[in-house]
Amino acid sequence: MTPRALISPTHRAIRDYYAAREAHVAQRVFNELNVRSAFERLLHDTGRLHGWTLVAELPSKSGDAVIRPDGTFRDSNSLPRGYREAKDTKDNLDTEIKKKSAKGYHLSNTIFEDTQTAVLYQNKQEVRRYQIGDPAQGPKELADLLNQFYAYTEPDIEGFEEAIEEFKQRVPELAKGLVEKIQQAHKNNKPFITAFDQFFDLCRSALNPNIRVEAVDEMLVQHLLTERLFRTIFNNPDFVKHNAIAREVENVIEALVRKSFDRTEFLKSLDRFYVAIEAAARLLPGFTEKQHFLNTVYERFFQGYSVKLADTMGIVYTPQEIVNFMCSSVAEVLEKEFGKTLASKDVYIIDPCTGTGNFVVNLLRRIPKRDLPRVYKEQLFANEVMLLPYYIAALNIEHAYYEITGEYEPFEGLCFVDTLELAEGSQGSLGFMTADNSRRVERQKKAPITVVIGNPPYNVGQINENDNNKNRKYGVIDRRVSETYAKASTASNKNALSDPYVKFFRWATDRLQGKDGVVAFVTNNRFVKGIAFDGFRKTIAREFTEVYHLDLRGDARTTGELRRRAIYSMIRFVWVSELRCWLGTKKQQDPRSITM
């Protein structure tokens, strides 16, 4: 694979490296621990040109052994792209390479160097030796080494990148073929008609009383195209059996394929895509990397599958940097304002639009192990309204708990439900999809929530008014928005208050039920200065005693047609300015200060 930018011998990073080396020589510093930092800085600076991040001492498994390369490069998908091993001139480089190889250290794309000589291994073979310590030719040798190193892509990773791009192109065609088969089954497949009607009634009761048949058909398509990945990436062959909603969907699928078509045969054309993803996933050292990896695959799936659905629901995952910041902020504010921790027995937490479960996973890792079983089983809740992210959230959260405790425990706090619909107060006699899901929802409704955290969708309308892709109405929440934010506004046009994130603010504040608590959301920035949001700002200032607002100075609506899914795909370096983080604390006393 051709690198994005060739590095010249006069590149600033190379000049800085040799300057640092000269300083070490002048100070007569030659041992590995001291001299390795200069080369590490060189790799860090040049790796960023290619979207690679250098992580020092990252543990990974090689057979049964745990190894810790001096440096591991990972790309934006968390896939490992290269390694670095540092030695000093007192070491015999060849001897050290043999030792590392015997211990199972990677030779896929690895630089061994001792400040004088660098040896590059690719595909377990020595490619070349570079005399980087030569006074005359050193900079050119070093530039050649770096360009060769960054140009290499392991076959499994190259296959993944090619396959996932091909899948994105092909998924509309495959989805269309599945939709046609489903539509035909609606007409002449009696077992399918019976199973579908039962499932459709469940969806109307739990998700949306006005849900369309076509929307439920889309759930079946999503399940058919992605279920294999959930099982294989997390090595969970019984996923469908363990997950209550997946079981219901699978019942409908079984009725569909029994008479309509052969599932395996139909999906055979995707084998290369599945195999490529599974092979790339095997390169990942741990669960956290697999979680990020699956998030990326999921987002790319929707880019190819349903642009309209992505537009309405905000189909992107929240970057880990933002999740980290928000979870740590909530922990700090709980302690500062209320003298509580995430593990306190009277702290009940909900992520009302959990997506792929990143916030809950992050919170699990912050709770002391002795308290985790109690919090996990009794005090932690999450909702998701879309099928694929609900599946992924279940896998992510349950796997994270297993990784921490060594015990598998289903996450009873996760519900397949529309959070805003819960405020409506009537789901009919059918409950919430399944008896198990209904039981979870009822338990959540009774919980005295004190923390609401998450990333609600925040678009109003859609890309094109002709797409028939409007956001839905909610009687109770819309009335509450009207009674509070809209009533306090002096604006004549208040359409912006129909943004879903505004409704989630209203729901979250009301969900605290007059108790002390915290609300922490990622939103767009329209409420900061927007004329229609003057009533929103007044109400927030009145209802919360403390408001912490991190303004990252971005607005997709005023900087072109960029949308949140594009923003998140480049979060690390470019579009972080599009995001906003908002956190409010509510106490049963008069407001003391507002920081905005």
Q: Read off the pLDDT of residues 138-168 as tens digits, 9 standing for 90 and up.
A: 999 999 999 999 999 888 787 777 776 777 7
What is the pLDDT, as a whole number, of residue 460? Answer: 42
Cα distance between residue 260 and residue 178, in whole Å: 10
* 501 closest CA partner among 518, 477, 466: 477
CA 487 and chain centroid, separation: 37
* 578 closest CA partner among 551, 596, 549: 551
- Mean pLDDT, range 250-275, rounded to an integer: 79
Q: Given pLDDT bands bounded at 50, 70 and 90, which one contains residue 106? A: confident
More confident residue, 551 or 521: 521
Specify the range with the lowest mean pLDDT, choosing from 252-256, 357-361, 431-435, 502-506: 431-435
380 pLDDT above the threshold of 60? yes
Cβ neighbours of residue 466 closer than 8 Å, sequence gap 6 or more: none
Q: What are phi and psi of 583, to 5 degrees?
A: -145, 130
* 583 closest CA partner among 532, 526, 517: 517
What is the pLDDT, as a whole number, of residue 304? Answer: 58
448 pLDDT above the threshold of 50? yes
Q: Which two tokens stand for residue 14?
A: 């190379």
385 pLDDT above the threshold of 80? yes
238 pLDDT above the threshold of 80? no
Q: Given pLDDT bands bounded at 50, 70 and 90, which one contains residue 463? A: very low
390 pLDDT above the threshold of 80? yes
391 pLDDT above the threshold of 60? yes
What is the pLDDT, as a whole number, of residue 458? Answer: 56
578 pLDDT above the threshold of 60? no
- Mean pLDDT, range 110-121, rounded to an integer: 92
468 pLDDT above the threshold of 60? no
What is the pLDDT, as a whole number, of residue 551? Answer: 72
- Mean pLDDT, range 227-237, rounded to an integer: 73
Note the CATH architecture for domain 318-586.
3-Layer(aba) Sandwich (3.40)
Q: DSSP string covering 289-334, please?
A: HHHHHHHHHHHHHHHHH-HHHHHHHT--PPPHHHHHHHHHHHHHHI
What is the pLDDT, as a whole number, of residue 4? Answer: 56
- Mean pLDDT, range 445-470, rounded to an integer: 66
Read off the pLDDT of residues 9-52 as tens digits, 9 standing for 90 and up.
Answer: 999 999 998 888 887 677 665 555 566 788 899 999 999 888 89
Confirm if 485 and 507 have CB atoms less than 8 A apart: no
**Please, where are the H alpha helices in 306-428?**
307-313, 320-333, 358-364, 372-374, 387-405, 419-422
Read off the pLDDT of residues 472-509 as tens digits, 9 standing for 90 and up.
Answer: 688 899 999 999 998 888 877 777 777 888 899 999 99
More confident residue, 368 or 567: 368
Between the alpha carbon of residue 407 and those of residues 158, 398, 404, 410, 413, the distances in Å are 35, 10, 8, 10, 17
What is the pLDDT, as a whole number, of residue 305? Answer: 58
220 pLDDT above the threshold of 50? yes
CATH 3.40.50.150 in the chain is located at 318-586
What is the pLDDT, as a whole number, of residue 317? Answer: 61
CATH 3.90.1570 in the chain is located at 12-153
Would you give the end-to-end CA distance of the chain in angstroms? 47
Q: Environment class of residue 394 by beta-carbon count within 10 Å: exposed (0-12), middle (13-18) or buried (19+)?
A: buried
- Mean pLDDT, range 365-379, rounded to an integer: 96
Confirm if 134 and 145 have CB atoms less than 8 A apart: no
379 pLDDT above the threshold of 90? yes
110 pLDDT above the threshold of 90? yes
Sign of CA dihedral 138, 140, 141, 143: positive
3-state secondary structure of 43: helix
What top-level class would CATH report for the domain 12-153?
alpha beta
- Mean pLDDT, range 522-544, rounded to an integer: 85
Specify the range with the lowest mean pLDDT, choosing from 159-163, 284-288, 373-377, 505-509: 284-288
- What is the average pLDDT value for the chain, to the nearest integer? 79
Report field, pTM of the whole predicted structure over 0.75: no
Confirm if 536 and 486 have CB atoms less than 8 A apart: no
- Mean pLDDT, range 166-194, rounded to an integer: 83
Read off the pLDDT of residues 301-349 as tens digits, 9 standing for 90 and up.
Answer: 655 555 454 444 444 567 777 888 999 999 999 999 999 999 999 999 9
More confident residue, 578 or 500: 500
- Mean pLDDT, range 163-178, rounded to an integer: 75
